[in-house]
């Protein structure tokens, strides 16, 4: 009896000690981690759907179990549908690692939610394609804040049995007199305003937009006006890709923005949904994701182990195929089940496909295109404008 | 332990407590209600109070911090933003239309159940009304999405007639809401109609009241509190719902703004202020209902 009480007390005080020590540890990480020690036994991950799979969705998709067996780090994970949702979840705390697109990574860095990552401790970083290293969405003030994960472009998809002629321009989804009015779809996030800006870059050279995430007051209000006008021809805004698939399958949407993986899934259906996609002539928005580590994580060693695991060729190959994007690790291309995967998704270093793809980046008041004579519109204004656009 | 003590059960603790409470009925009642009322006050009213307080704070997107000093800026923004006003108006109009439609559909069904149907039919009907509530609400909305979709069953059924469904828009959403909340109207109205004593209706008939007059002068006023009770459900459920609008339409309603501000922007104070709007609308609604005498027959 006495012993049990004593043991309980010991556990309790040990816990209190651990809790008390955590801020101290975090403070000590001011600079950077210099070695990866023994795992803490668990790691909590916040990721895009499809990035963390433990076999529970499909037995074919499981790169968590091997990780847990190798490291002893128990993985718990949570998913999000937009970068804005990820922002709210991650900043509320409790996560060690996050897969952040460029429209999230800077916000996390700027507000001190993530810590620098010592890439010397990530052996697989060496094989990451050069295009994705040292980018403005993963490296701030010359300091690396994460490991590149992979990239993709937002594409224009259409039902080939309905839409004729085949579109090759984003203007078709912003056309108020579109013959497909009421059957057009758009992505449901504030960052979609950049898609309108990409169109304006081509159609309104007088506005002088050089980067769809660096919009001054005038440029921004034009982009918002275009997005508002688009609202009337839309069927719906999507952020859940299963819903977009269903809309195309049923013919509720016949034209609109998509991800390669959605097109692939629709073509694989029986009977296949007759869709095709293209990267329009104006270029496109897209994403390039980064695995980042929470500033005050109590599980720093398991976090580093996950970063290296997820950057390894087999896992990169598995995720790239499962999600439908270009892997960051070049060696993954030899391991994909579909040998043509990396070609289809333009994974090679220096592939010209990416030249006119604008990776999602957090808009800020200091213009990202280098202009200093004007102030650009910050992301909070983008969020407000988005409500206004959708509110009609 | 001695035998003498065992023969005096009255002195045991539980007996003494029982006596203590027996002679203090108010204390007895208070103790019995302490736990449930604490739950009500802390969990329901407490969270509402916290929400009210939060709505006077402000959020800075650039620092992701909540400033806990008093400000009216969220309410000013709601009042001044044309988008917010449109959204609120749209939501209230939808809630009013949905409520009116559920009353029109529910009243005859409830009347039939309460005053016409045999006890056996009545039981079957009650079950028929309640069973849909057992199914997942989200699954039902998804089902409606499919029904209204371009190649859905509705367009398929209307095609031979040369007609088309409304598609996935606000009109479809209206039907979905009416479907979803109908049981919440039928059940209170049924209960209200069932409570009306038959003798009152007979008295009206004896005094020469024709069925129509009896209905308007006797049945309807007596059923009014039940209708109001049902309309509180349908009205407030429509005001707050965000899942059906996001799955059925491209437009956003009050609930979607709250969801977006809370779940996407992290602007808790604005979301709290926005959440006070339906509460204020419901309070106004109840005051108007009371003024119209809806509760006098209670």
State pLDDT tens for residues B109-147.
999 999 899 999 999 999 999 999 999 999 999 999 999
Q: Are A148 and A63 in the same domain?
A: yes
From residue A41, how far is each of A16, A76, A293, A298 by CA, in Å? 18, 11, 16, 11
Q: Are A203 and A164 in the same domain?
A: yes
Q: What is the pLDDT of residue B290?
A: 83
Q: What is the pLDDT of residue A70?
A: 94
Token pair in block for residue A381: 């204004």
Q: Is the pLDDT of residue A382 over 80?
A: yes
Query: A388 — contact with chain B (CB < 8 Å)?
Result: yes
Based on the structure, what is the number of domains in chain A? 2
Is A359 part of a structural domain of the chain? no
Q: Are B149 and B241 in the same domain?
A: yes
For A222, phi and psi rounded to 5 degrees?
-65, -45
Is B66 part of a structural domain of the chain? no
CATH number of residue B171's parent domain: 1.10.3720.10
Q: What is the pLDDT of residue B9?
A: 54
Based on the structure, what is the number of domains in chain B? 2
CA–CA min distance A230, chain B (Å):
11
Q: Are A124 and A173 in the same domain?
A: no
Of all residues in chain A, the percent with pLDDT exceeding 90 is: 70
Nearest to B152 among A250, A380, A392 (CB): A250
Q: Which residues of B270-279 are buried (b: 16+ CB within 10 A; e: fewer)?
A: bbbbbbbbbe
Q: Are A45 and A140 in the same domain?
A: yes
Is B249 part of a structural domain of the chain? yes
Q: What is the pLDDT of residue A328?
A: 95
The dihedral built from the CA positions of residue B140, B181, B261 and A387, taken in this order, carries a sign that is positive
Token pair in block for residue A10: 């010991």
Cα B71 to Cα B197: distance, rounded to the nearest angstrom: 54
Is B71 part of a structural domain of the chain? no
Q: Are B27 and B89 in the same domain?
A: no
Is B297 part of a structural domain of the chain? no
Cα A342 to Cα A324: distance, rounded to the nearest angstrom: 10
Asked if residues A379 and A362 have their Cβ atoms less than 8 Å apart, the reply is yes
Burial classification of residue B215, based on how many CB atoms lie within 10 Å of its CB (0-12 exposed, 13-18 middle, 19 or more buried): middle
Is A183 part of a structural domain of the chain? yes
Q: What residues in A contact B88, CB-CB < 8 Å?
A: none
Average pLDDT over residues A291-308: 95
List alpha helices for chain A, DSSP H: 2-28, 65-71, 83-91, 102-110, 171-174, 193-203, 217-231, 241-250, 260-268, 300-310, 313-319, 341-344, 379-391
How many separate helices (H) and strands (E) can be counted in chain A?
13, 15
Instruction: With CA atoms as reference, report the closest residue to A75 among A56, A102, A103.
Output: A56
Return the number of other C-beta atoms located less than 10 Å from residue A204's C-beta.
Answer: 15
Q: Are B16 and B85 in the same domain?
A: no
Q: Are A142 and A161 in the same domain?
A: no
Average pLDDT over residues A374-379: 92
Is A265 part of a structural domain of the chain? no
Q: Are B97 and B37 in the same domain?
A: no
Average pLDDT over residues B240-259: 92
Q: Domain span at residue B263? A: 79-291
- With cut-offs at 50, 70 and 90, classify the pLDDT of residue A261: confident
Cα A94 to Cα A90: distance, rounded to the nearest angstrom: 7
Record: contact A391-B150, CB cut-off 8 A = no
For A170, phi and psi rounded to 5 degrees?
-65, -20
Is B286 part of a structural domain of the chain? yes
- Residue A277's SS3 state is strand
The residue of A246, A252, A376 whose CB has the most chain B CBs within 10 angstroms, and thus the best one to mutate to test that interface, is A252
Q: Is the pLDDT of residue A15 over 60?
A: no
Q: Are B24 and B114 in the same domain?
A: no
Q: What residues in B contact A390, CB-CB < 8 Å?
A: 250-252, 256
The dihedral built from the CA positions of residue B119, B120, B125 and B127, taken in this order, carries a sign that is positive
Asked if residues B148 and B165 have their Cβ atoms less than 8 Å apart, the reply is yes
Q: Are B157 and B237 in the same domain?
A: yes
Q: What residues in B contact A80, CB-CB < 8 Å?
A: none
Q: Are A47 and A135 in the same domain?
A: yes
The strand pairing partners of A56, in sequence order, are: none
Q: In terms of DSSP bridges, do strands A184-187 and A234-238 run parallel, antiparallel, or are they unpaired?
A: parallel
Is B59 part of a structural domain of the chain? no
The dihedral built from the CA positions of residue A312, A313, A318 and A321, taken in this order, carries a sign that is positive
For A144, phi and psi rounded to 5 degrees?
-80, 135
The residue of chain B with its CA nearest to that of A92 is: B266
Q: Are A64 and A43 in the same domain?
A: yes
Q: Are A175 and A147 in the same domain?
A: no
Is B241 part of a structural domain of the chain? yes
Record: contact B252-A250, CB cut-off 8 A = no
pTM of the full predicted structure? 0.81
Q: Is the pLDDT of residue B53 over 60?
A: yes
Q: In terms of DSSP bridges, do strands A357-359 and A284-294 run parallel, antiparallel, or are they unpaired?
A: parallel
Kindly report, residue by residue over A52-109, the tens digit of the pLDDT: 999 887 788 899 999 999 999 999 999 888 898 899 899 888 999 999 999 999 989 9
Instruction: Write down the ipTM of this complex.
Output: 0.74
Q: Is the pLDDT of residue A6 over 70?
A: no
Kindly report, residue by residue over A221-244, the tens digit of the pLDDT: 999 999 999 999 999 999 888 889
Asked if residues A71 and A302 have their Cβ atoms less than 8 Å apart, the reply is yes
Q: Are A99 and A199 in the same domain?
A: no
Q: Are B97 and B201 in the same domain?
A: yes
Is A8 part of a structural domain of the chain? yes
Cα A325 to Cα A150: distance, rounded to the nearest angstrom: 7
Q: Are A123 and A169 in the same domain?
A: no
Q: What is the pLDDT of residue A105?
A: 93
Record: contact A252-B150, CB cut-off 8 A = yes
Kindly report, residue by residue over B72-121, the tens digit of the pLDDT: 999 999 999 889 999 999 999 999 999 999 999 999 999 999 989 999 99
Average pLDDT over residues B215-219: 89
Q: Domain span at residue A203? A: 155-258+364-390
Is A29 part of a structural domain of the chain? yes
Interface list for B 122-151 with A (CB within 8 A): 145-146, 149-151
Q: What residues in B contact A380, CB-CB < 8 Å?
A: 61-62, 265
Q: Are A37 and A92 in the same domain?
A: yes
CATH number of residue A122's parent domain: 3.40.190.10
Q: Are A19 and A144 in the same domain?
A: yes
Is B70 part of a structural domain of the chain? no
Q: Are B153 and B282 in the same domain?
A: yes
Average pLDDT over residues A281-294: 95
Token pair in block for residue A84: 């804005």
């Amino acid at each position: 009896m006495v012993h049990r009480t004593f043991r309980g007390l010991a556990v309790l005080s040990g816990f209190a000690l651990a809790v008390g020590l955590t801020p101290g540890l975090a403070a000590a990480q001011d600079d950077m981690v210099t070695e990866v020690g023994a795992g803490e036994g668990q790691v909590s991950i916040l990721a895009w759907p499809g990035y963390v799979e433990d076999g529970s969705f499909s037995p074919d998709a499981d790169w968590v179990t091997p990780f847990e067996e190798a490291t002893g780090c128990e993985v718990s994970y949570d998913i999000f549908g937009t970068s804005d949702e990820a922002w709210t979840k991650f900043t509320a705390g409790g996560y060690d690692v996050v897969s952040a697109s460029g429209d999230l990574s800077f916000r996390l860095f700027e507000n001190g939610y993530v810590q620098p990552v010592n890439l010397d401790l990530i052996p697989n970083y060496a094989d990451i394609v050069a295009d994705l290293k040292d980018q403005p969405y993963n490296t701030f003030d010359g300091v690396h804040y994460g490991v590149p994960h992979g990239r993709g472009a937002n594409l224009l998809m259409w039902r080939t049995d309905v839409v004729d002629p085949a579109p090759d321009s984003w203007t078709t989804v912003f056309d108020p007199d579109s013959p497909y009015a009421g059957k057009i779809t758009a992505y449901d996030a504030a960052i979609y305003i950049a898609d309108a800006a990409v169109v304006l870059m081509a159609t309104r050279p007088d506005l002088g937009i050089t980067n769809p995430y660096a919009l001054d007051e005038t440029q921004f209000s034009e982009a918002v006006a275009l997005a508002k006008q688009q609202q009337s021809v839309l069927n719906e805004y999507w952020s859940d890709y299963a819903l977009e698939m269903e809309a195309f399958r049923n013919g509720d949407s016949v034209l609109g923005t998509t991800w390669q993986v959605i097109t692939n899934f629709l073509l694989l259906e029986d009977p296949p949904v007759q869709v095709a996609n293209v990267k329009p002539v104006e270029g496109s928005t897209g994403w390039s994701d980064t695995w980042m580590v929470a500033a005050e994580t109590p599980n720093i060693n398991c976090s580093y182990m996950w970063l290296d695991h997820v950057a390894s060729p087999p896992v990169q190959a598995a995720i790239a195929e499962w999600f439908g994007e270009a892997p960051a690790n070049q060696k993954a291309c030899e391991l994909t089940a579909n040998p043509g995967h990396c070609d289809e998704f333009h994974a090679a270093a220096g592939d010209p496909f990416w030249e006119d793809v604008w990776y999602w980046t957090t808009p800020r008041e200091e213009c990202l295109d280098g202009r200093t004579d004007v102030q650009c519109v910050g992301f909070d204004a983008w969020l407000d404008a988005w409500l206004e656009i959708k509110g009609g | 332990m001695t035998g003498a003590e065992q023969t005096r059960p009255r002195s045991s603790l539980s007996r003494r407590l029982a006596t203590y409470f027996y002679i203090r009925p108010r204390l007895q009642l208070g103790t019995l209600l302490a736990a449930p009322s604490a739950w009500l006050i802390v969990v329901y009213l407490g969270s509402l109070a916290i929400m009210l307080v939060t709505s006077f704070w402000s959020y800075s997107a650039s620092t992701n911090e909540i400033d806990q000093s008093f400000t009216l800026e969220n309410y000013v923004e709601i009042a001044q933003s044309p988008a917010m006003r449109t959204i609120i108006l749209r939501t209230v109009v939808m809630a009013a239309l949905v409520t009116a439609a559920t009353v029109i559909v529910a009243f005859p069904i409830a009347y039939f159940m309460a005053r016409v149907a045999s006890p056996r039919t009545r039981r079957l009907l009650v079950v028929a009304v309640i069973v849909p509530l057992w199914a997942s609400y989200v699954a039902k909305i998804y089902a409606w999405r499919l029904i209204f979709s371009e190649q859905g069953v509705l367009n398929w059924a209307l095609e031979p007639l040369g007609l088309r469904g409304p598609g996935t828009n606000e009109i479809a959403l209206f039907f979905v809401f009416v479907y979803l909340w109908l049981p919440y109207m039928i059940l209170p109205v049924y209960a209200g109609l069932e409570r009306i004593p038959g003798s009152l209706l007979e008295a009206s008939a004896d005094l020469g009241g024709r069925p129509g007059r009896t209905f308007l002068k006797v049945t309807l006023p007596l059923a009014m509190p039940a209708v109001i009770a049902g309309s509180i459900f349908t009205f407030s459920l429509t005001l707050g719902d965000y899942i059906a609008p996001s799955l059925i339409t491209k437009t956003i309603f009050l609930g979607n703004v709250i969801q977006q501000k809370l779940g996407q922007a992290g602007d808790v104070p604005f979301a709290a202020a926005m959440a006070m709007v339906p509460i204020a609308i419901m309070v106004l609604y109840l005051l108007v209902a009371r003024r119209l005498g809806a509760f006098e027959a209670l």
